[in-house]
Structure 1
Amino acid sequence: MGRPRKYDEDFRQRALERLKTCQDISALALELGVNRSQLYRFRNEALGRAPVPRSESWLREKSDQRQRRRIAELERVVARQALELDFFKGALLRIEENRRKRGQNSGKPSTSKSGT
Structure 2
Amino acid sequence: MAASAKNRQYPTAYKLKTIKRVEQGEAVLPVARELGISRKLLHDWIKAWKAHGPEGLNRKPGPKPGPRKLKPLQPEANKRSALARANARIAELERLVGRQQMDIDFFRKALRAMERPATQGKPASASSKSSKP
- TM-score normalized by structure 2? 0.45
1:11-57 CA distances to partner (integer Å, 9 max, x unpaired)?
xxxxxxxxxx5x9xxxxxxxxxxxxxxxxxxxxxx454232132111
In proportion to residue count, which structure has more helix? Answer: 2
Unmatched tracts of structure 2, length 5 or more: 1-39, 44-62
**Consecutive aligned runs of 4 or more in structure 1 exceeding 3 Å deviation:** none
Bigger radius of gyration among the two: 2
User: What's 1:74 paired with?
Assistant: 93
User: What's 1:53 paired with?
Assistant: 72
- TM-score normalized by structure 1? 0.51
Aligned equivalents of 1:87, 1:109: Cα separation in 2: 35
User: What's 2:14 paired with?
Assistant: none
Calculate the aligned-residue CA RMSD, in Å.
Answer: 2.2
Aligned equivalents of 2:127, 2:81: Cα separation in 1: 70
**Identity of counterpart residues, as a percentage?**
30
**What is the 5 A alignment of 1:1-116?**
46-47=63-64, 48-108=67-127
Aligned equivalents of 2:106, 2:128: Cα separation in 1: 32
User: Cα offset for 1:103?
Assistant: 1.1
Per the alignment, do residues 68 and 103 of structure 1 end up closer, same or farther by CA in structure 2, a change over 3 Å counting? Answer: same
Larger RCO, structure (CA 8 Å, separation 6 or more):
2
Q: Which residue type is aligned with residue 59 of structure 1?
A: N
Per the alignment, do residues 62 and 108 of structure 1 end up closer, same or farther by CA in structure 2, a change over 3 Å counting? Answer: same
Aligned equivalents of 2:123, 2:72: Cα separation in 1: 77
Q: Which residue type is aligned with residue 93 of structure 2?
A: L
